[in-house]
Structures are given as C-alpha cells and as structure tokens.
Amino acid sequence: MEKKRENELQSREEAAQIMDMVGIHAAEYMKAMAYYRCAIMEIETKFNVLNTEFSLQYDRNPISSIKSRLKSPLSIKGKLERKGLDVTLENVEENLNDVAGVRVICSFPEDVFALAEAFLKQDDITLVEMKDYIHQPKANGYRSLHMIVQVPIFLSHEKRLMKVEIQLRTIAMDFWASLEHQLRYKKDHDFTEEMMRELYDCATQSAQLDARMDALRRHVEG
Ligand code: 0O2
C-alpha cells in the first residue's frame, strides 16, 4: 500500500514536471486528470452492474476482468505533437479521445456485443465513434470492439461530459493483443514478413478458438 502511494506520488511529480515544461499549469493538469479518473469510475461501474445482472440471468459472468488506465503525460505530449498540435489542455480535451481508457475483457465473443448493446442503450451515454475490429480485423490480425463515448460526471457545482475510449475483447483476443503489443506495437523492431505472417496466423488461431468455445457455450446454454 505504502509502495503504491509512493509510486502515485512519483508519477504525480513526473506529470507535474512534464506539464510545467510545456506550459500547462500542473494543478490544472491534475484537475483534468482527476475528471478523467471519475469518468473511468462511471464506466467501470456501468459494466460491473451489467456483469452482475447478466450473471443473475445466465448464471455465469460475461466479464472476465476490467483494466483501466489514464494515458501518461509523456504519451499525451507525444500524441499531440504527432498530430501537429500544441501541447495545451484545450487540445488534450478536444483532440484526444483516449486519455481515459477502459478495457473490458469478456468471456465469449457474443458477450462483447451483448454488453456493448446494453451499455449503449443507457441514456446518459453518447456514442462518438465505433470501430468494429472483430467483424473487420486489422491487417495484422488485431481484433477488438472499440468505442469512444461521452459520459457525464456530476461534480458539486457542475456536470461535465468526458470522453472515454472503451475496448471490448475476449480473453483470446486480449491474449493475442497483449503479447503482440509486447513484441511489436510502438517498438522500432524490424518485423520480417515471416514474423508478421506468424503473428497473423496466431490471431487466426485465437479467432478459431473463440468460435469453438462460443459453439460449446451455445450447446451448454441451449
Ligand atoms: P495504448 O498503449 O494501448 O494506449 P487514435 O487513438 O484514434 O489516434 P487509431 O489507431 O485510429 O489511433 O485508434 P484505434 O485503431 O482505435 O486503436 C487505438 C488503440 O487500440 C491502441 O492504443 C491500442 O491499445 C489498440 N490497438 C490498435 N491496434 C492495435 C494492434 O495492432 N495491436 C495491439 N496490440 N493493440 C492495438 P494506443 O494508444 O496505440 O496504445
């Protein structure tokens, strides 16, 4: 616990230093990040509620785990610079959709779509953008359902609409994406054609596993 607090303080200090360097007032930056953290809590709660309700109905959990993260100050700075934008808080809020990220790891492919549908029906959620990399996987084999949504957070004197990136994927999709991320994503490794084919083949096999497990689930659930 102490260690966690220590790390948290270190990263706050690091964030403050980086933001001061680029002229964003550290206290303003911390406030904005606290709002994003509140938005993450709102989204996590919504999925936890859906998980509880589904498990009462079907006697199993559609969600295996939820992992959330705030984009680091260095990544925020890097992404704005890549987009050719000044590093200002206004540009963060207007141009970055993934400062707050929630990844929902589901048991079966059908759970991904059932949860997304139930979540999007909620009247305080606005869908900004959806990318279905499950029905249309990326060229490297990456599969996941991505949604950018706006969710309100209620503060003592105001309501703020916050953008959150949600990635829904199965355990098999997450297994592949996590390992591929470690091996390649954002790294400057030269991946040979052969290695890309191998990764793609692993993605295809993980999709086949998902389909076989889903068939078993349908058989069991009738
Ligand atoms: P991190 O470290 O996970 O946050 P955009 O964010 O809109 O500018 P893009 O590419 O249009 O960029 O967004 P997209 O396609 O929705 O993908 C964004 C996120 O999806 C990435 O975030 C990854 O988390 C994940 N992702 C997308 N493609 C791949 C892939 O090929 N492999 C893996 N492992 N993950 C992928 P970040 O910010 O790049 O990284």
Taking only the tens place, the pLDDT of each residue in 135-172 is 999 999 999 999 999 999 999 999 999 999 999 999 99
> Does pLDDT of 221 surpass 70?
yes
Distance 167 CA to ligand 1 centre (A): 9
Distance 9 CA to ligand 1 centre (A): 28
**Ligand 1, residues at Cβ distance < 6 Å:** 98, 101, 131, 138, 140, 142, 146, 177, 180-181, 185
Q: In degrees rounded to 5, what are phi and psi of residue 101?
A: -130, 135
pTM: 0.90
Going across the sheet that includes 159-170, the strands are: 63-70, 100-106, 159-170, 145-154, 126-132
Which two three-digit tokens encode residue 44?
């996590």
Residue that wins the pLDDT comparison between 17 and 103: 103
Which residue's CA is the closest to the ligand 1 atom numbered 11?
131
pLDDT tens-place string over residues 97-106: 999 999 999 9
Closest C-alpha to 126, from 94, 161, 160, 101: 161
The atom number, within ligand 1, closest to the CA of 180 reads 34
Predicted confidence at residue 65, as pLDDT, reads 97
Residue 9 banded pLDDT, cuts 50, 70, 90? low
Which residue's CA is the closest to the ligand 1 atom numbered 17?
146
Residue 1 banded pLDDT, cuts 50, 70, 90? very low
> Average pLDDT of 63-76?
94
The atom number, within ligand 1, closest to the CA of 71 reads 4
pLDDT tens-place string over residues 149-159: 999 999 999 99
Predicted confidence at residue 98, as pLDDT, reads 97
Could you tell me the domains of the chain?
38-221 (3.30.460.10)
Residues 151 and 43: their CA atoms lie apart, in Å, by 8
Structure letter (DSSP) for residue 136? S
> Does pLDDT of 22 surpass 90?
no
Residues 13 and 19: their CA atoms lie apart, in Å, by 10
Give the residue, out of 70, 102, 181, with the most ligand 1 atoms within 8 A of its beta carbon, to mutate for a pocket test.
181
Distances (CA, A) of 80 to 40, 68, 98, 165: 21, 21, 12, 17
Residue that wins the pLDDT comparison between 97 and 194: 97
Can you give 34-46 as a three-state secondary structure string? Answer: HHHHHHHHHHHHH
DSSP, collapsed to helix, strand or coil, labels residue 47 as helix
The atom number, within ligand 1, closest to the CA of 178 reads 34
> Average pLDDT of 27-43?
94
Residue 4 banded pLDDT, cuts 50, 70, 90? low
- Which residues fall within 8 angstroms of residue 206, CB to CB, at 6 or more apart? 143, 172, 173, 175, 176
Distances (CA, A) of 89 to 20, 25, 32, 78: 12, 9, 8, 14
Distance 1 CA to ligand 1 centre (A): 31
Q: What is the mean pLDDT of the chain?
A: 90
CA–CA–CA angle 42, 165, 105 (5° rounding): 80
Distance 181 CA to ligand 1 centre (A): 10
